[in-house]
């Protein structure tokens, strides 16, 4: 029986193909991902690119989409660190008490880690199904380099909030 997890995958829309590949890699290990992230159709992406959708509307939609996810995966691609909305999503995930797991996309580097992920990330993993699953489950909170070698934590451990 497959293990099912509700996640929100924060990513730069140019990395949509990597989102599909990640969910397929995890599915081959019997792990079903129900992803609630926003993947705009071309017409909607055009409206977003033209600034015809207000920030408030985007924020409401993201809060709604992220609210039911137990974990937020941040796909670390070539331009992820430049994306304002990815950083905003990570900060929202932290405020909502979500587990935040970074995953290097093929070609992603440590220089591509978004600032908020450096501050709030619970784990960062290379492109390896077992490592990613372990981090989603909360069994592994280590940080890795893109090649899978150990990396130092990016921030001091967090404390619980009352």
Which 8-state DSSP code applies to residue 84?
H
Residue 156 lies in a domain: no
Q: Is 138 a member of any domain?
A: yes
- Which among 83, 75, 61, 68 is positioned nearest to 22, based on CA atoms? 75
The answer to the question of residue 28 being in a domain is yes
Dump pLDDT digits (tens) for 90-134.
Answer: 999 999 999 999 999 988 999 999 999 999 999 999 999 999 999
- Domain with residue 68: its CATH number is 3.40.50.450
Secondary structure (DSSP) of 98-152? -EEEEEEPTT--GGG--HHHHHH-SEEE-S-HHHHHHHHHTS---EE-TTS-EE-
In a domain, 22, yes or no: yes
Residue 103 in any domain: the answer is yes
Does residue 159 have a pLDDT over 50? Answer: no
Query: Domain limits at 11?
Result: 3-151
The whole-number pLDDT of residue 111 equals: 93
Instruction: Write the pLDDT tens digit of every residue in 11-65.
Output: 888 888 899 999 898 888 888 777 766 666 777 777 777 888 888 988 998 898 8
Could you give the number of structural domains in the chain? 1
Cβ count within 10 A of residue 80? 24
- Please indicate, yes or no, if residue 162 is contained in any of the structural domains: no
Q: Is residue 135 part of a domain?
A: yes
Helix (H, G, I), strand (E, B) or coil at 10: strand
CA distances from 160 to 4, 94, 127, 152, 154 (A): 26, 12, 29, 22, 18
pLDDT at 29: 84
pLDDT at 36: 67
In angstroms, the CA 96 to CA 66 distance is: 9
Global pTM? Answer: 0.87
């Amino acid at each position: 029986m497959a293990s099912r997890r509700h996640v929100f995958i924060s990513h730069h829309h140019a990395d949509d193909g990597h989102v599909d590949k990640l969910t397929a890699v995890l599915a081959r290990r019997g792990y079903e991902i129900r992803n609630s992230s926003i993947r705009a159709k071309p017409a909607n992406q055009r409206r977003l690119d033209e600034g015809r959708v207000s920030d408030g509307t985007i924020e409401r939609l993201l809060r709604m989409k992220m609210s039911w996810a137990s974990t937020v995966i941040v796909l670390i691609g070539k331009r992820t660190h430049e994306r304002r909305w990815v950083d905003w999503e990570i900060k929202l995930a932290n405020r909502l008490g979500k587990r935040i797991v970074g995953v290097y996309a093929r070609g992603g580097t440590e220089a591509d880690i978004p600032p908020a992920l450096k501050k709030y990330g619970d784990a960062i993993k290379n492109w390896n199904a077992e490592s990613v699953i372990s981090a989603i489950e909360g069994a592994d909170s280590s940080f890795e380099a893109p090649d899978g070698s150990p990396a130092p934590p990016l921030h001091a451990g967090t404390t619980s909030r009352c």
